[in-house]
Amino acid sequence: MFILLMVALISCNYENNRKTTAPTQQITGEWSSLSIKVDIQSKNNTDSNQLFEVDRVNWEEVLKIKPIRTFFRADSTWNSAHYDLNDSLVYNPPENGG
């Protein structure tokens, strides 16, 4: 009986914690882009397809920038900071609202 009561209490506590965490709290913070994959369906109006793919290993070599740093805030605004290979900020669009 004691074990059944403990399981019930733990389950209730788990459900309460899940319900109080808003989606904005789950994503709030700094995120880094580590890969990009773009499937180009037509190149120069031809039937040829092309795949452009960058991963963590070749990001800086191919794109000539550091991985993009995106900052999500609890008020649903965000921005993405782009730094060159010398850690200089080269692009930081205005904050975006939700």
Residue 10, helix vs strand vs coil: helix
CB 22 within 8 A of CB 67: no
Q: Is the pTM of this model over 0.75?
A: no
Specify the DSSP class assigned to residue 96. Answer: B
User: What is 24-50 written as a DSSP string?
Assistant: HHHH-EEEE---EEEEES-STTSS--E
What does the pLDDT average to over 59-84? 93
How do residues 1-56 score in pLDDT, each as one tens digit?
Answer: 444 444 444 444 444 445 556 665 678 999 999 999 998 887 677 777 888 999 99
Question: Residue for token digits 């403990």?
Answer: 6
